[in-house]
Amino acid sequence: MKQIRIAIIDDHRIVTQALSGLFNQYKDFKVVGTGYDGKSALELVVNRKPHVLILDLQLPGISGSELLPILKKAYPELHVIVLTATQIKQTWQKVLALGANGIALKSVASEELVEGVRQVMLNKMFIDPAIQAELSQQDSGVYLTLPDHLNHTLTRREREILLLVLNDLTSKQIADKLGISDRTVSKHRENIYHKLGVNSSDDIFPIIQQLSL
């Protein structure tokens, strides 16, 4: 039986140790390395050639969400399962859009994660049942709440527009939905970016992720 080679990246060593112990219980798995940041993830993929990479989103240096598209472009055969503590639906969707083969909460049952690794090796998508259940609750599959910190930082209208931005609506679509002008939407977006210290909507995702932890 060909063993499935697994690499694990998480900035908490107790997590990498626990996952290593989990997978090493099975004869069809072999943990070929662990790491704690984006740099070690790249080194492991290059040098140890895993079939599956278990990747944490929150890493020092380059984040998991930044690393994911780089790895998928350079190593299209690599199967990546993202582990995350965030409850933000938009983040889950973004991870999947970036090319992850699977996504799971850090609270996922061990047997679910083990089965998930086997699924992605069969070129199937693995989504933690808890995440799948949440995504299925809304037709759009996106989250409708913001971290508490932003509720105090932004005005009601700014929060309303930010949610629509995060749900990938254009300024024109937002204007049509709210019955205001494109120019008003653009001004609100400028204010939001200024308050969050970012330059574009793409830069907002890491901020929201961090605030949600």
Whole-structure pTM value: 0.67
Q: Which domain holds residue 174?
A: 148-212
Cα separation, 148 vs 144, in Å, equals: 13
18 & 81 share domain: yes
19 & 111 share domain: yes
Q: Who wins on pLDDT, 48 or 161?
A: 48
pLDDT tens digits for 140-199? 434 445 677 777 888 988 888 887 787 667 888 888 878 889 999 999 999 999 998 888
Q: How confident is the model at residue 1 (pLDDT cuts 50, 70, 90)?
A: low
34 & 117 share domain: yes
CA distances in angstroms from 91 to 38, 81, 125, listed in the order given: 19, 14, 17
pLDDT of residue 168: 63
Cα separation, 128 vs 132, in Å, equals: 6
Ranking 35-39, 119-123, 129-133 by mean pLDDT, the lowest is 129-133
Report the DSSP beta bridge partners of residue 35: 9
Q: Is 72 helix (H, G, I), strand (E, B) or coil?
A: helix
pLDDT exceeds 80 at position 102: yes
Task: Give the helix/strand (H/E) hosting 14.
Answer: helix 13-23
CA distances in angstroms from 192 to 154, 155, 188, listed in the order given: 7, 9, 6
Domain count of the fold of the chain: 2
84 & 38 share domain: yes
pLDDT exceeds 70 at position 80: yes
Q: How confident is the model at residue 208 (pLDDT cuts 50, 70, 90)?
A: low
pLDDT of residue 181: 92
- Give the domain CATH number at 43: 3.40.50.2300
pLDDT of residue 141: 39
Tell me how far the alpha carbon of residue 22 is from its chain's centroid: 22
Considering the domain boundaries, does residue 37 fall inside one? yes
Domain boundary among 79, 114, 135: 135
93 & 158 share domain: no
